[in-house]
Amino acid sequence: LAIVIICLSATVTTLTALSMSAISTNGQIRGGGIYFMISRALGPEFGGAVGAIFSFANATAVAMHTVGFAESLNDLLKTLQVKIIDNGQNDIRIVGTIALIVMQAIIIIGTEWESKVCA
């Protein structure tokens, strides 16, 4: 069953990548990135609905990735015998908060700089 799930996921990912490649080669992508491509291909009404879901998915992904980063860094700090407060939940919260502040600063600076940081 696991192999079927992996094969199905790989197929969906490959088809999505090919579709996005076909859409993006039809013209230059302006500001908006993936949302611009979706709204251009599907129309503004359906593109807006997909864009809203895409935004919620990204917000959820940022939360999960931040917690994962903070927990991993906390484990690394434990192995190095370094602690911020108690090597527990509070350290994870502090690292996560600092990571979110850094990400917010990157976003406030501008999307052009954000693209450079991500690359």
Encode pLDDT of 46-56 as tens digits: 777 877 888 89
**Rounded CA separation 74/68 (Å):** 10
Mean pLDDT of 5-29: 83
The full set of domain ranges for the chain reads: 52-118
Using alpha carbons, select from 23, 18, 58 the residue that is nearest to residue 41. 23
Task: State the average pLDDT over residues 99-110.
Answer: 88
Residue 3's pLDDT band, with cuts at 50, 70 and 90, is very high
**Tally of CB atoms within 10 A around 38:** 21
Predicted TM-score of the model (pTM): 0.63
Per-residue pLDDT, 102:
92
Q: What confidence score (pLDDT) does residue 43 get? A: 78
Give the separation between CA 54 and CA 44, rounded to whole angstroms: 14
Q: What is the pLDDT of residues 18-65, one digit of tens each?
A: 887 777 676 666 666 767 777 777 777 777 787 788 889 989 999 999
